[in-house]
Amino acid sequence: METKDSTHVVIMAGGIGSRLWPLSTPEMPKQFIDVLGTGKSLIRMTVDRFLPVCDIKNFWVVTSIRYVSLVAEQLPEIPKEHILAEPQARNTAPCIAYACWKISSRYPDANVIVTPADALVLKTSAFAALMKQALDFSAGGERIVTAGIIPDRPETGYGYICAESDSVRKITKVHAFREKPDLPTAVSYLKAGNYYWNAGIFVWTAGTILSQIRRHAPQIAGIMDRLAPYFNTGDEAAYLAELFPLCEKISIDYAVMEKSDCIYVISDDLGWSDLGNWSAVREHLALDAEGNAAVGKDVRLFGCRRCIVHAQDCSTAVIEGLEDCIVSVKGGKMLVCRFSEEQRIKDFTAPSGIGTGRVKQD
Render pLDDT for 170-203 as a digit per residue (tens, 0 to 9).
Answer: 999 999 999 999 999 999 999 999 999 999 999 9
Condensed to tens digits (0 to 9), the pLDDT of residues 247-259 reads 999 999 999 999 9
Q: What is the mean pLDDT of the chain?
A: 93
Mean pLDDT across 104-118: 96
361 pLDDT above the threshold of 80: no
C-alpha distances in angstroms, 136 versus 46, 82, 112, 264? 21, 24, 11, 13
Q: State residue 272's pLDDT score.
A: 94
319 pLDDT above the threshold of 60: yes
Q: State residue 349's pLDDT score.
A: 87
- Cα angle at 107 between 256 and 133, to 5 degrees? 60
Condensed to tens digits (0 to 9), the pLDDT of residues 27-37 reads 999 999 999 98
Using 50, 70 and 90 to split pLDDT, how confident is the model at 352?
low
Q: State residue 5's pLDDT score.
A: 80
CA quadruple 214, 220, 221, 227: dihedral, nearest 10: -170
Q: What are phi and psi of 335, to 5 degrees?
A: -125, 130
CB 147 within 8 A of CB 199: yes
263: enclosing H helix or E strand: strand 263-268
Mean pLDDT across 311-323: 95
Using 50, 70 and 90 to split pLDDT, how confident is the model at 1?
low
Q: State residue 236's pLDDT score.
A: 97
Mean pLDDT across 285-303: 96
CATH of 4-273, one of 3.30.1360.70, 3.90.550.10, 3.40.50.10380, 3.40.50.300: 3.90.550.10
Using 50, 70 and 90 to split pLDDT, how confident is the model at 2?
low
The predicted model scores a pTM of 0.92
Cα separation, 9 vs 48, in Å, equals: 12
Q: Tell which residue, 99, 94, 102, 93, has the closest CA to residue 113.
A: 99
DSSP lists the bridge partners of residue 62 as: 12, 84
323 pLDDT above the threshold of 80: yes
CB 209 within 8 A of CB 144: yes
Residue type, 287: L
Q: Where in the chain is the domain with CATH 3.90.550.10?
A: 4-273
161 pLDDT above the threshold of 70: yes
